[in-house]
Every structure is written in C-alpha cells, then in structure tokens.
C-alpha cells in the first residue's frame, strides 16, 4: 500500500523539479527520498519520474499519480487539523467561510445554531474564489459563494452546493441626481456617468456594467477603483460618480446617497451555500438549514430596502 510519505515525495519532486531539491524541502537525505520513490514505483508498476542531468520531471503516469496524491494529502492534512482542533477545544470545530457582504446578514445570524450541537466555529471572511479554493482543499467545511445567475457552482466530489437566493445590484446616485426621481432607473440614462467600481476587473458589478454598455456600443467611463463600500458611498455622495452595490449590503451605507433599482433585471448575483458531505458533520448540516432559513426570510421581505 502506498504511504503518505511516498505521496509527499512524489509531490515534492513535482514541485521542486529535482530529487536533491525535493529531499532538502522534506528534510530527507537523497538516498532516503530515492528509496521512497522506488517503493511507490514498484507498487504502481511503472516509472513515475524521469531523471536527467537537468533535473527530474513526472512521466504521464506520474502526473496521474500526482492528481491522486494531492487529493489524498489534502484530505489527510484536513483530517489532522480537524482532529487537533477537536482535541484542543473539546468540541467539533466547524470551519465556515463567507464573502464580506453576506457575512452580517446571512452567515453570522446562522452561526448561533451551532451552540446547541456542542460545536464551535472558525469564520473566514474572503472573496468567493478564495473561499472556493479553501473548500476544495478541505480547509473549510462550508462556505457562502457567488456566481452569476443560472450558473451552477461546481466544486468536485463530496462537495454539495445549492443556490440560496439572488442578490440584485442597485445603483448608487448622489443626492439631487436627475435619475433619483425615478423608482427604477434605465441603464441607458446613466451612459454618460463616471462609474466607480471594484479594484478587480472580475468584480461582478464592474464586469456587468462593462458588458452591458459594450453590447450597446457605448464606451464606459471608469472612475475610481475601490473595494470599500464606505469609500464608494463617500465618492458617490461627493458627486464624483455613480456605482453599483449588492442589495444585501445596503445596511452598510450611512444614508448619504440615493439607491435605486435598475430596469435591467439581469444585474444580480446568485448566492450559494456549499459544504462537504463526507464525512458527514451534523453541525454543518444544521448550519446549512439555518442558512436556507435566513435566506428565505430575507427574500420573503415585502420589499428590499431602497433609500432616498
């Protein structure tokens, strides 16, 4: 049977490109590393590493073995962390993650359910792509993630996901803006505005605005790029541009700007919950149920809060 030490040797060779460098990274002698490598090659019945004066690289069989090695080692590392946390704290530790705007209104109100299950939690706040990666690696048990509407979240084997709600994007306008008199604002009426958006081009509001205007043959005037809602609100209030903001985050505004819905209903994000199904964790299942209920309450409100 292949051992974890043998899998670590294979991974180290792939990462470092030579037996010597891999041995140093693992704090092994090179003969010991070569022994582990020979043992795993004997078990699988084929050569995993090609050696040359310029270094070492994995064969096609080695690349296939590496895929399984990384999955097994990630699961082993996650199991070790989870068992160590349980031993240290005397309770199961749920590793939960959320992106910032959903933390206060969805994740935090739902975490209270874990006390009755004899479980504690660690909460990670990060952007959705980072959370998805941590979920795949086993560093998170459950996370709230984002996608565009009608696009499923696919995370791999033993990770379930389901959509919780759609989160419309609303437009932030300075007080006295001509469009502030309209309850629903057509995007075309804002074509000449300066748009304040997130720092990353992958920021969903920024991406959607660029796409929508390009479809109409309109060049977008992009202004300040910031990743802070308070700063964005201050810039809009000062008349330096307009911006989009997820409706779920409107409670973070201080009320100095006008918020309006956009006539184009496609401006929305879909919020999903994703979690590991194996091994089964009752505390995680309880948290999934609480998140479903919290999302249903939010969606069931008679009207999303629109101000001004």
- pLDDT (tens digit per residue) in 85-128: 666 655 568 899 999 889 989 999 999 888 665 678 889 999 89
The mean pLDDT value of the chain amounts to 86
What pLDDT score was predicted for residue 206? Answer: 81
Residue ranges of the chain with per-residue pLDDT less than 70: 82, 85-92, 115-118, 150, 265-266, 302-308
Cβ neighbourhood burial of 191 (10 Å; 0-12, 13-18, 19+) = middle
CATH topology for 83-165+269-299 is D-Maltodextrin-Binding Protein; domain 2 (3.40.190)
What pLDDT score was predicted for residue 171? Answer: 93
Q: Tell which residue, 140, 138, 145, 109, has the closest CA to residue 123.
A: 140
Residue with tokens 């000449």: 192
Query: What gap in Å lies between CA 31 and CA 92, rounded to an integer?
Result: 41
What pLDDT score was predicted for residue 159? Answer: 93
What pLDDT score was predicted for residue 302? Answer: 45
* Annotated domain spans of the chain: 4-77, 83-165+269-299, 167-268
What pLDDT score was predicted for residue 12? Answer: 93
What pLDDT score was predicted for residue 234? Answer: 96
Q: Tell which residue, 209, 230, 229, 233, has the closest CA to residue 221.
A: 209
What pLDDT score was predicted for residue 267? Answer: 81
One fold for 83-165+269-299 and 167-268: yes
**Does residue 19 contact residue 13 with C-beta atoms inside 8 Å?**
yes
| Residue 47 Cα distances to 54, 56, 196, 243, angstroms | 18, 12, 55, 57
**pTM exceeds 0.95 for this model:** no
Q: What is the CATH number assigned to the segment(s) 4-77? A: 1.10.10.10
What pLDDT score was predicted for residue 83? Answer: 73
Residue with tokens 């097994």: 72
What pLDDT score was predicted for residue 150? Answer: 67
What pLDDT score was predicted for residue 86? Answer: 63
| Residue 96 Cα distances to 13, 54, 111, 141, 144, angstroms | 33, 44, 9, 6, 8
**Does residue 169 contact residue 269 with C-beta atoms inside 8 Å?**
yes
Query: What gap in Å lies between CA 95 and CA 142, rounded to an integer?
Result: 7
Query: Could you tell me which CATH class the domain 167-268 is placed in?
Result: alpha beta
3-state secondary structure of 86: helix
Q: Tell which residue, 59, 14, 65, 5, has the closest CA to residue 36.
A: 5
What pLDDT score was predicted for residue 268? Answer: 84
Return all residues near 85 (Cβ < 8 A) that are at least 6 apart: 93, 122
């Amino acid at each position: 049977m292949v051992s974890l030490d043998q899998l670590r040797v294979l991974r180290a060779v792939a990462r470092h490109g030579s037996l010597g460098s891999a041995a140093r990274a693992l704090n092994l002698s090179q003969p010991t590393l070569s022994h582990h490598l020979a043992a795993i090659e004997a078990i699988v019945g084929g050569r995993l590493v090609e050696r040359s004066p310029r270094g070492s690289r994995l064969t096609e069989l080695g690349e296939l073995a590496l895929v399984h090695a990384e999955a097994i080692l990630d699961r082993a590392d996650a199991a070790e962390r989870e068992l160590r946390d349980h031993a240290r704290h005397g309770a199961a530790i749920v590793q939960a993650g959320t992106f910032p705007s959903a933390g206060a209104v969805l994740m935090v109100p739902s975490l209270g359910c874990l006390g009755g299950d004899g479980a504690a939690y660690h909460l990670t706040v990060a952007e959705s792509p980072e959370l998805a990666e941590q979920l795949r690696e086993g560093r998170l048990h459950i996370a709230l993630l984002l996608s565009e509407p009608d696009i499923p979240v696919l995370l791999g084997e033993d990770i379930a996901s389901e959509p919780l709600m759609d989160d419309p994007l609303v437009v932030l306008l300075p007080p006295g803006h001509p469009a502030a008199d309209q309850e629903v604002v057509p995007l075309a009426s804002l074509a000449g505005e300066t748009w304040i958006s997130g720092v990353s081009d992958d920021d969903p509001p920024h991406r959607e605005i660029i796409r929508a205007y390009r479809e109409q043959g309109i060049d977008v005037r992009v202004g300040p790029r910031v990743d802070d809602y308070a700063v964005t609100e201050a810039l809009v209030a000062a008349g330096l541009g307009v911006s989009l903001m997820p409706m779920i985050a409107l409670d973070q505004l201080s009320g100095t700007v006008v918020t309006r819905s956009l006539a184009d209903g496609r401006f929305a994000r879909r919020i999903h919950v994703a979690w590991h199904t194996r091994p089964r964790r009752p505390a995680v299942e309880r948290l999934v149920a609480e998140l479903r209920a919290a999302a249903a309450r939010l969606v069931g409100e008679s009207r999303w809060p629109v101000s001004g």
